[in-house]
Chain A
């Protein structure tokens, strides 16, 4: 991009929204976030170009307006920002993180992301858009959101209707909705612990264990939610987001528990259609009506205490309706052909919650790599 001459003279009236390059030496008062009218007559660039903004444009009106509030670095005094943003006036406190290029994936300071998240949550709540969607702010993806498409949900309704049992469907949708609402509210009213967890999630996307397994086969729901390792702020977010303090598991209510006829039991974590909860603290207690929500809601009281205490009793509590797979003697269920412990591997009960979490995560977190070997069934080929 060409360097903006006006910026060099210190008088660029587009500020952050300028199409030309502003060499980023210093975040001085060189730019002033200009409002919409100044760009009003800008020819046919009617749509928002992502290079000129990074995401904070939801409050903007029509589809062919451009956004007035560019939040590239809020510290610089962009347009209508909340008053809380001026706490990092002028200089970008995280300037070390900010890149010097105008690329699309410009690194924002984490606090900008947090503001973006809050704004997005607010919009999501008020706009009536589809709630069961994942959500992300570049570069990371936020956990705690279950991704379900309308077709999948509708199919569940139809199968429930065909089998005559709609109540289970309604319960599960209600639970999903509640879970969503609480997560959105939590992100919107960003408490300090939520903020920390969100920032660490965004900075370290690889540590997220996203195993969203919304089993959409006709025979019933099984929803899992991912929980990231940094879930300290989640509190009792209802069902779903691994709301444990340090051991963020992605417990996946095992779909096999519900009398579903599917035989595809993945034997490893995350493989196959459904992720298996390797440890027992989230018992996918499926109700006989083949929905998973009723059970876990009862015992998913997200506390580290629960986590550690149940590690030892880790077999998934067999769902009341009787499970088809999981309750075998070794307690893991799905590891069909592997011996539970052959000496090469550890049993689940030997591992602490943190170690189990590491094994079940997609990648190891540096500094917390367990010294003991993993359990056999967590090996994913």
Chain B
């Protein structure tokens, strides 16, 4: 088991105390902070699947590493292990049996990390940085799906160095989600493609994006029978679109809502609009959580079309979020997401994204 560097572990206790009027903007929600966070921004978080006992959280960061913590029932976190890539890690996912973790990185490779032996092997290679990685478990096959900035979507059997299948996309992959038998990929230039994964992955439909700006994140939701039925798509413009694949009444069922904007009801001053960095659905209730560059997270009910809760504002943008497998724990990562680059350069200073801190909250 490898040790982390000498980071200060905060572990400020007090779980689940919301809405305090504290001046602490680093952790205003008084959620449990994860010990030994990575040294640079966190790009992705993933909780272990239900097949494994206990809750393990994997986080990939721009410091080229992937870390694993065990999250105990009282909310305390114990760092467990770490692996490195040669480039920033952009996405992580678990295999369905919880024994392997797949990591995708800007070094154009993806690795499979066997947690029992703490070994990694490379399982995928692209021509460009790999932006998304997902594990697909179908009745007749299982594979890893990687989406990359080289505009291809490749499917890998972890035992072979060549992809099982490679699908061409119109543009770079920006985000993706998989809930068997459906996969959704959102690309640059507002591209949106749905794939169906039965028998073998194939393109199902290309959808005209309901959003006007760059896509940032996507998450599939399920209906009452636990079948994937649609997805939520977030953009850089503080807006999320809920889109059903085959709705009875598309005009009424699909909608968009604004989020992560400043200024509440005040129309006099211009709003600040923030990107939606990640969307995550609660596995049990079906409510969705969005996290944004404004440093807040919000919970929404898409069926009632209401906002359930918004957090206090953290001092940094929130870059990733994840529910654990039974929905008791919501983890979010607070670290710089490069969203202020434009103003940076008008003022001539460079911000180096530092002091990230994943924090976990127990509901």
Q: Which residues of A contact B (CB under 8 A)?
A: 44-51, 55, 57-65, 102-104, 120, 123, 126-138, 141, 147, 149-155, 157-158, 166, 170, 173-174, 177, 180, 210, 212, 214, 216-218, 262, 264, 273
Contact = CB atoms under 8 A, between A and B. Distances in A.
A177 B342 contact: yes
B interface, size bucket: 35 or more
Contacts of A147: 171, 188-189, 214
Contact of B271 (A49, A127, A149): A127
B62 interface: yes
B342 A273 contact: no
Interface string B157-170: 00000000000000
Contact of A134 (B213, B252, B254, B350): B213
Contacts of B181: none
B267 A61 contact: yes
B212 A212 contact: no
Contact of B259 (A63, A153, A158, A180): A63
B67 interface: no
Contacts of B90: 151
A378 B340 CA distance: 39
Interface of B: 43, 62, 87-88, 90, 106, 127-129, 131, 149-151, 171-172, 174, 188-190, 208-210, 212-214, 216, 235-238, 250-252, 254-259, 261, 263-267, 270-275, 304-307, 337-343, 345-346, 350, 353
Contacts of B306: 44, 46, 64
A103 B214 contact: no
Given A47-B257, A130-B275, 4 more contacts: A60-B258, A104-B254, A127-B273, A136-B190
B88 A44 contact: no
A58 B270 CA distance: 10
A49 B257 CA distance: 8
B336 to A, nearest CB: 9
Contacts of A133: 213-214, 235-237
23 contacts: A47-B257, A48-B257, A49-B251, A50-B251, A62-B261, A104-B251, A126-B271, A127-B271, A129-B236, A133-B213, A133-B235, A134-B189, A149-B172, A150-B338, A150-B339, A151-B129, A152-B172, A154-B62, A154-B353, A158-B62, A174-B345, A216-B128, A216-B149
B43 A273 contact: no
B61 to A, nearest CB: 12
B341 A150 contact: yes
A46 B305 CA distance: 6
Contacts of B127: 217, 262, 264, 273
Q: With a 10 A CB-CB cut-off, give which of B88, B188, B304 has the most chain A CB atoms.
A: B188
Contacts of B150: 273
Contacts of A51: 251-252
A345 B23 CA distance: 71
Contacts of B256: 47-48, 50
B212 A120 contact: yes
Given A46-B305, A177-B342, A130 B267 contact: no
A132 B350 CA distance: 18
B248 to A, nearest CB: 13
A151 B252 contact: no
Contacts of A273: 127-128, 150-151
A47 B252 CA distance: 11
A63 B261 contact: yes
Contact of B257 (A64, A104, A136, A150): A64
Contact of B345 (A128, A173, A216): A173
B189 A210 contact: yes
A13 B209 CA distance: 32
B278 to A, nearest CB: 12
Q: State the 4 A-B residue pairs at the shortest beta-carbon distance, nearest first.
A: A133-B214, A126-B270, A127-B273, A51-B251
B257 A177 contact: no
Given A48-B257, A130-B275, A216 B346 contact: no
Nearest to A133: B214
Given A63-B307, A264-B127, A102 B189 contact: no
A260 to B, nearest CB: 12
B274 A129 contact: yes
Nearest to A166: B350
B250 A104 contact: yes
A128 B272 contact: yes
B214 A216 contact: no
